[in-house]
Structure 1
Amino acid sequence: MHGLKYLAGYSESVTSKVERLIADNKLGSVLLAKYPTPHQIRTDRALYDFAVALKNEFLRKSQPLSKVSYDPKISVMNHALGLHAFVSRVQGAKLTAKHEIKIAALFKLAPIEFLRMIVVHELAHLKEKEHNKAFYQLCEYMEPAYHQLEFDTRLYLIHLDSEGPLYQTF
Structure 2
Amino acid sequence: MTPLKYLNAYSPALQDQVRQLIAHNRLGDYLGQRYPARHAVQSDKALYAYTLALKQEHLKNAPSIDKVLFDNRLDLTHRALGLHTAISRVQGGKLKAKKEIRVASLFKEAPPEFLRMIVVHELAHLKEHEHNKAFYQLCEYMQPGYHQLEFDLRVYLTYRELQGRPPSDTSR
TM-score by length of 2: 0.92
Map of 1:84 onto structure 2: 84
1:104-147 Cα deviation digits (max 9, x unpaired): 10110001000000000000000111111111111111001100
SS at match of 2:131: coil
Q: Which amino acid aligns with 1:7?
A: L
Greater fraction helix: 1
Given that 1:68 and 1:102 are in contact with CA atoms closer than 8 Å, whether structure 2 keeps it comes out as: yes
Map of 1:26 onto structure 2: 26
Q: Which amino acid aligns with 2:88?
A: S
CA distance in 2, matches of 1:112, 1:105: 13
Query: Any gaps of 5 or more consecutive residues in structure 2?
Result: 166-170
Given that 1:89 and 1:95 are in contact with CA atoms closer than 8 Å, whether structure 2 keeps it comes out as: yes
Q: Residues 37 and 164 (structure 1 numbering): CA distance in 2 closer, same or farther, change over 3 Å?
A: farther
Give % identity. Answer: 56
CA distance in 2, matches of 1:47, 1:105: 11
1:77-102 Cα deviation digits (max 9, x unpaired): 33211000011222221221211000
Map of 2:122 onto structure 1: 122
Map of 1:155 onto structure 2: 155
Structure 1 segments (4+ residues) deviating >6 Å: none
CA distance in 2, matches of 1:2, 1:70: 31
Map of 1:94 onto structure 2: 94
Given that 1:3 and 1:158 are in contact with CA atoms closer than 8 Å, whether structure 2 keeps it comes out as: no
Q: Which amino acid aligns with 1:93?
A: G
CA distance in 2, matches of 1:3, 1:50: 35
Pairwise CA distance, 1:149: 0.3
CA distance in 1, matches of 2:3, 2:38: 24
Given that 1:76 and 1:104 are in contact with CA atoms closer than 8 Å, whether structure 2 keeps it comes out as: no
Pairwise CA distance, 1:27: 0.3
SS at match of 1:128: coil
Q: Which amino acid aligns with 1:23?
A: A
Map of 1:42 onto structure 2: 42
Pairwise CA distance, 1:164: 5.0
CA distance in 1, matches of 2:77, 2:56: 31
Q: Give the total of aligned pairs.
A: 167
Given that 2:2 and 2:19 are in contact with CA atoms closer than 8 Å, whether structure 1 keeps it comes out as: no
SS at match of 1:102: strand
Q: Which amino acid aligns with 1:25?
A: N
SS at match of 2:62: coil
CA distance in 2, matches of 1:66, 1:3: 40
Which stretch shifts more, 38-47 or 86-95?
A: 86-95
SS at match of 1:7: coil
Q: Which amino acid aligns with 2:130?
A: E
SS at match of 2:5: helix
TM-score by length of 1: 0.93
